[in-house]
Amino acid sequence: MNWKNSIFTLLLFTLLLSLTGCKKKTNVLSEDPVGLPPFEEIGAFEQNVLLGRGVNFGNALEGENEGDMGMVIQEEYFTLIKQAGFQSLRVPISWGYHALPVYPSTIDLTFFSRIDWVIENAIRAELNAVINCHHIDVLDADPLGNKMWFVEIWRQIADRYKDYPNSVIFEIKNEPHDQFNADNWDEVYKAVLDVIRETNPTRNVVIGPINWNSFSSMNTLDLPENDQHLIATFHYYNPFQFTHQGATGWVEGSGDWLGTTWGNLQSHYARVISDFESVADWAEAENRPVYMGEFGAYEQADMASRVLWTDHVARTAESFDFSWAYWEFGAGFGIYDRNAGEWREELLGALIPEE
């Protein structure tokens, strides 16, 4: 082989290797990978009705590795959830653990494939799926310093799922707190929303306020008037000393709250109604649908109180046309006993009462 042929062969090999490498690194799915229905535009209010009654897949994908927090998602869970009467799943996902810690924030393809599997199983089970960004501590600690890193994470997510059906809903970030305030949260979420809209111009997106998505901070949320494919969200764990009693692994002093009951005073019920009225007033003024993305009482509370609280919170939310997702399926707040392979019927009945 002469030197010209050698150079040509080397260049051709280099080109092929480069193309192969690009193919391996891309985060874009092949066309129609699982025969999913096409995306069709749906209004935010209609979407919120379809979210209806939901549950969180908590303590699974928001850990550094699935299973670190005690739960691994199994295929049969999707059918169980659908058959129990739920309409949607909220899937907390800690993308930050699986992305490069610096720009361009490349997300690991193996992790992406696992999320594909979760979303596609939800679709097959005819469940709406809300996928979010959960537990991104570096962003909460320095919102503006990590803004572009976070934006690039969402650029990849939005591009990967742009052709998925409208039953897949994006939630920009779970519970902004720490160094987030109303102004810098506004700047960060709008930068992300702009990137999402490049590939998903009419997909519905969930956005909540600062202070851990507190209902009392809804009036700090400034949603762009020209985007009507937005659903506002809040989380509800009041009274905290009841819902988090005994949660000593992450709530300091919660062991002192053990024995706190709920439901024996009329003021308990009135407080929930009052809190939700304030959200409903905001929603009416802003003409936005509302999704209560988390609520639940930890397993250390007595079951009778948990059932009363859960039923009242769920029914009150429904009376204001809020969709909701209980926290959570099968861990410390769980309605499903994974070890026994059965529902905790009292809690399930509080969420999905017999008609």
Indicate which residues carry an active-site annotation: 175, 294
Distance of CA 37 to the CA centre of its chain: 22
> Which of 349, 292, 294, 346 has the alpha carbon at shortest distance from 319?
292
> Which of 293, 312, 298 has the alpha carbon at shortest distance from 89?
293
- Contact criterion met (CB below 8 Å) for 208 and 221: yes
> Which of 80, 56, 53 has the alpha carbon at shortest distance from 315?
53
User: Quick one: angle between helices 303-319 and 266-286, nearest 10?
Assistant: 30
